[in-house]
Structure formats: structure tokens, C-alpha cells
Structure 1
């Protein structure tokens, strides 16, 4: 089709409007489900509460439903930390309430088969859901805000020289310094790290949410991390929501080596180890000039006989590690699911959620569930950790 001059006529540019309508519809559906299922379970599924109780429940859940999108927009789109804290907390709370409301309805079906009548049955389910949700939120907040447990794991590397047997790598990841001021938590984490006799310290990305100016005081304690051979850092996907290069530069100013598709080497000869780091896999599409995961560049010129220890934020970057014969990749990103049962959704996107796994003929991958948390200040059935990997030579004792 063309105009009278024969030039083609372009169709109206409709996709952006279609996308906006689609996204808005999906968001509305999610909000309705998140709040509608608990509303039904607690107040209308045969509970037959007095009218005042049902009205109060409707008002409370309606207010929460309005607060969530409002606070998320003000907090995360417009940079109001107070609003972000409210929105994130409501999001975490309603997710837990939604999940256990669904499970409560399954319990109700079982009780119905057992012959237990309403309204006792539905009231029993509603009360059980409330008790479980409150308990999980209190416990989950404690788990999110405490100094993480230390998990120590021996990892055997076929090509590691005997002189490096026992090398201790302490790794943290996904600290997500953000709207909740966790400078004190950060200092306590550093104190714990410094008790672990690190040879190498690693931060595997998602350092902070926000600008260097806004979050630098929370990151500042990382200046004091001690490690015998060095401290290394790579970007995660959240750095590319803002100031990725600024965070690389800032970590350099704190004495950390920022591995921007680069490597360092410790030891020498047959007892050497290459420590390489690559940008997050989302970097190339972020619009940040000069960024994009490039393992070939990081390993260009490295001795092919020397074992490689790779920092890459996302576990799915292991495919590239297998291609290059990397001995061990360490990653974060998954948070172990953070709030159950998200781990099963994460597993659809990533090859692992946590722990040590084997890939290809040589490559091993250790996935940390993260040291901090993102968004909702809760961890439910997904404990955080500070990881100590003790590298072992196959030929050692």
C-alpha cells in the first residue's frame, strides 16, 4: 500500500499503547487476585461473621489494595524511600497472605470431606491462616534483617595446584542496600566476614538499589573487609537500573577490584588461579555504554592450563563458563526464592536456585541464596548466607 507518489505508507504506531494496556490489565488482575483471594478466604467463604467484621475486613483490604500500587509508584518510580518501605512491606505481606489463603482453601476442602460444617469450618480456616501468616511475617522479617548464617563448603577443583589447597573464598551477594537504612547491618556483616580468615573476598553483584550518593553510607563498611589476596566485585542486574559504572568506580575507591570483564591472578606457575569477573547478562541491553558480559575478553591471554574461578551474577551465565572450560563459577541473583514458594518460579528461569552443581565436563557452579534481600523485608523458608568456599586440590592429601 502506498500514497499517490508510490511511497509506502507506514501503519500507525500502535504497539506502545497495546503494551501499556496489556501491562495495566495484568497488573490489575494480579492486584485483584492478591487481595481478592484473602478477602474471600477470611471474610466470605462461609465464615458468616457479623456484618461489622466483614465490613471492617473489606475496608482494610481495600485500603491495602490502594496503598500497594500508590506506594510502589511513589517509592520506586519517584524515589521516595518512605513510600518504598511501605510498598515493599505491603507487597511481601499480601504475597504471604495470598499463598496461605490458597492453602487454607485446600485445608477447608479436606475438612469439608471430613464432614466439618460451616461456619465453624471456614472460621477455623480463616483463623489458622491469620495465625500462620502473622507468625511467618514476624519470623521472615527477623530472618531478613539478621546477620546471615555462615555456610562453609569444600569444593574440589581438578586443576588446582597443591600450594593453593585450602584457599578460602568468602562471598557475599545481593546486599541490595536500599530504602531501609542497613548501614549498621552492613557493619556487622563485615565484622563477621573478618572473622572468617578470607584469602579472597567476593561480592557478586546487586550491591545497592539507588544512586551512589543515596546509598554510599550503607556500602561504606565494605571498605574494611579484609582478605589476604584481594577483594573482587562484579555487577548484577540491579546496577543496570541506575549507575553501573558509578558503582564500579565507587567500589574501586573502597579498595575493591572491580572485574568489568577482567581478571586477576593469584599464585604462580603450577599453583596459580585466575579470578575472572564478567558483567551481568542484562548489561548489553541496558543502554550503558561499554558494558556487556564478555567472558572471552576477560580470559583473553590467560594461560589455558591455569584453573579459572569466575564471578558472574546470574547462574544462567554458566553456559558461557562451560564453553570456556571454567573450573568454578560463583553466582547469586536467585535469593533462594526469598519468600516461599517463589523458588519454584525462579527455577523456571535459572538452572539452579542455591548450592553446588555440576555443568559440562569440568565446570562447577555455586549459587548463593544471597546475603541481603530485595524489596519486601522478609525471607520465608529461604535463609540468607555468607558463603565460605574452601578450594581443594584433587591431588592434595
Structure 2
């Protein structure tokens, strides 16, 4: 799957760069700068092609960072050029229809598009670093009115790598500490590189204290990197992976689903579904939280949990990729939704995080990163978010 993805994405990036080159040529005309631009584009694309090997290479971090920042700039700027071209065509159409006598200034439109692309790229860099808490409250009829609210602090798709490290992780942990949650949860894709020598990040996570500890499930990138290496990092970070099992944590039950990249996904889901059904038979009031890296889950698990927590989509990361991510993940939207169970018509909640870190370009545009703070409360009772 990865070679196919690289082939397709490389083709897409070649097309994007060809489009940018054509747009810049309209602005600046032909010249030797085109040769320099083509060489630069090919260098950046070559780093993308070999991206799955750069943790084993001696390529300097600054070059890796520059390449991935450039891809974000290219995507956003190409989008701005596309908008300029569409506006130019619409304007020309209005002239032909006699709606206006003012002819479109294509050079001005493209110059404005270039400036807008660069400005929005800078904004996207800052947006990706501005991680904020997002508070959600969910009523649990299963809990007795006398029970106190139970707080989950959730991070997803952190993607610790050569680009995102201890400095970024510190922001996440600061939000977690301030939230004073009962348990910390990772929804997968915590790591995106060989973590053997990443002792600082492991220590920072292991030093995080919550009353009920830290739990998580693997995402596809844990398998893409090396699952045993990722598992070792989670162990050093004191994050217990609960994939394929039920775990009682305070007043709730965690049910962890493995990622399809781990293989035998449907069979694992059937086994987990049977365990949840057995739990329901023994304790009908059990509040089950399903941890699934991907929003779309196999049919045997659909509707069995009271709350499903997922990530993977990044909210598209750079708009309008949000809509592509939505189509690729069963049209499950970001944020909180309620879904009817196909068995008994009961409603359960699904929360899809926009993600905390970034994959590829360390940029976000109209998809702000989040650490989700979820309060599970008894009926007709709310808990005010701790903001001081």
C-alpha cells in the first residue's frame, strides 16, 4: 500500500509543481530562473519519495523540515493560483456576456494569488503550533446521579518525528496538566519515526500523572515505522496499549481496537465485539469507551460502545483536504456526533479529533490542532471546565 501511495502522491505533487511553474511563468516570463525552480522542485519531491527512509539517513534535519514546509507552501499557493484562474475565467465570461466592460487583469490576479499563498502559508505554520484544549461534555445515563464527572484528556495523531519533538510535546502536556484529567488517552499515531534514542519524549510522557494513568491504541504509523519499536516507546512512556482488550478504568470501560495496518482487522473487531456483549450481559450499566484510531469501524462493533473516540483524519490538516478526509473515512465528521445503534435504536456518541500534531507539512490551515478534554457526567449535571 505504501509504494502505491508514494507513486500516486508523487504524481500529484509533480502536477502541483508543474501548475505552480506555469503560473509563475505567467507572472515573470521565461528565463533562467525556471531552471533553478525545476531543480528546486525536483529536490523537494525526491525527499518526499524517500520520506519513509529519512529516519535512517544522514540527511540534516533542516533539509527535511524545509522540504515538508515547502510542500505545505506549494499546496496552499497552488490553491490560490487555482482560485485566481477561476476568477479570471468567470470575469472573462462576464465580459463576453456584456455584464461588464472591464477586462480581467490576469497578471494582477496571479500576483495577488502569490502573495496570498505565501501569507496563508505563514499563518498555517503558526496555526499548527497553536494547540488548544477543546472541551466536550457527554451525559452518561449509565452513571448514578451521585457519581462525580470523569474527565478524559485525549491526544491524537501527535506524530513525534524529526520535525515534531520535545518542544511540541511540552505544549500538549501543559494542556493536560492544566485540565487535571482523570486519565490520559492517545488515539494512535503517537510516533512517526524510530524512537529508540528519543529518551526525552519518553521521560516527559512517563512523568505525566493522572489518577488512572495513560492508555492508548496504535495507529497506522506505529506499524509503518516499526511496531515493536513503537511498542517499546509506549512502554517507556508508561502508556498502556489496550488494543484488542477491555480495561476497567474508574467508572468506565476502555475497549481498544487495533488498526487495520496490524492485519486481521475484522476478526479482531469480532472478538472485541463479543467481549463487549459479554460485558453488557454481566453489567448492563457499563459505560464503554471504544478507542479506534480510524473513525470507520467494522460492522460488528458499530453501535456497541457508549462513546467512540477516533482520530486519523487531522481534519484534513490543510483545507479543503477536509472533504477528501471525510470521504475516505466513512463520512464520519470531525467533532461530536450521535449515531443510532442498528440493534436496538439506542444512541451512542462518536467523537473524531482533528488531531494534535501534523503529518507531512508541519502546517495546518482551517484545521486547528486540539487536545480534547471530555467530561463524562451523570444525567442533568455538568462540570465546568477548569480554565484557571
- SS for the counterpart of 2:296 is helix
**Cα deviation 1:322-348 (Å, max 9, x = unaligned):** 25x210010111101101110010111
**1:75-154 maps to which residues of 2 (within 5 A)?**
75-79=51-55, 80=57, 82=61, 83-112=63-92, 113=94, 114-117=100-103, 121-146=105-130, 148-154=131-137
**1:227-376 maps to which residues of 2 (within 5 A)?**
227-267=210-250, 272-284=251-263, 294-296=271-273, 299=276, 301-302=278-279, 303-305=282-284, 306-317=286-297, 319-323=299-303, 325-350=304-329, 351-360=331-340, 361-376=346-361
Distance 1:377 1:173, change over 3 A: same
**Cα deviation 1:82-124 (Å, max 9, x = unaligned):** 3532332222221112211111101212333344446xx1111
8 Å Cα contact 2:142-2:378 kept in structure 1: yes
Give the whole-Å Cα distance in 1 for the aligned partners of 2:229 and 2:308.
25
Give the whole-Å Cα distance in 2 for the aligned partners of 1:227 and 1:319.
33
8 Å Cα contact 2:202-2:236 kept in structure 1: no
Structure number with greater Rg is 1
TM-score, normalization by structure 1: 0.82
Q: CA deviation at 1:319?
A: 4.2
Identify unmatched segments of 5+ residues in structure 1.
1-18
Q: CA deviation at 1:215?
A: 3.9
- 1:64 and 2:64 aligned: no
State the partner residue of 1:5. Answer: none
Q: CA deviation at 1:394?
A: 2.4
**1:173-188 maps to which residues of 2 (within 5 A)?**
173-188=156-171
TM-score, normalization by structure 2: 0.84
Give the whole-Å Cα distance in 2 for the aligned partners of 1:24 and 1:180.
20
Cα RMSD of the aligned pairs, angstroms, is 2.8
**Cα deviation 1:113-139 (Å, max 9, x = unaligned):** 344446xx1111111111111111111
Give the whole-Å Cα distance in 2 for the aligned partners of 1:151 and 1:101.
33
Give the whole-Å Cα distance in 1 for the aligned partners of 2:155 and 2:7.
38
Identify unmatched segments of 5+ residues in structure 2.
95-99, 341-345, 383-388
Q: CA deviation at 1:260?
A: 2.5
8 Å Cα contact 2:336-2:352 kept in structure 1: yes
- 1:168 and 2:151 aligned: yes
State the partner residue of 1:42. Answer: 24
Give the whole-Å Cα distance in 1 for the aligned partners of 2:226 and 2:214.
21
Distance 1:207 1:73, change over 3 A: same
Give the whole-Å Cα distance in 2 for the aligned partners of 1:158 and 1:259.
25
**Cα deviation 1:308-367 (Å, max 9, x = unaligned):** 0111111102744325x2100101111011011100101111132410012223321000
Alignment: residue pair count: 361
- SS for the counterpart of 1:152 is strand
Q: CA deviation at 1:276?
A: 1.8
8 Å Cα contact 1:174-1:207 kept in structure 2: yes
Distance 1:260 1:43, change over 3 A: same
Give the whole-Å Cα distance in 1 for the aligned partners of 2:325 and 2:164.
27
Distance 1:28 1:183, change over 3 A: closer
- SS for the counterpart of 2:73 is helix
- SS for the counterpart of 2:21 is helix
2:188 to 205, 220, 225: 205
Give the whole-Å Cα distance in 2 for the aligned partners of 1:370 and 1:276.
20
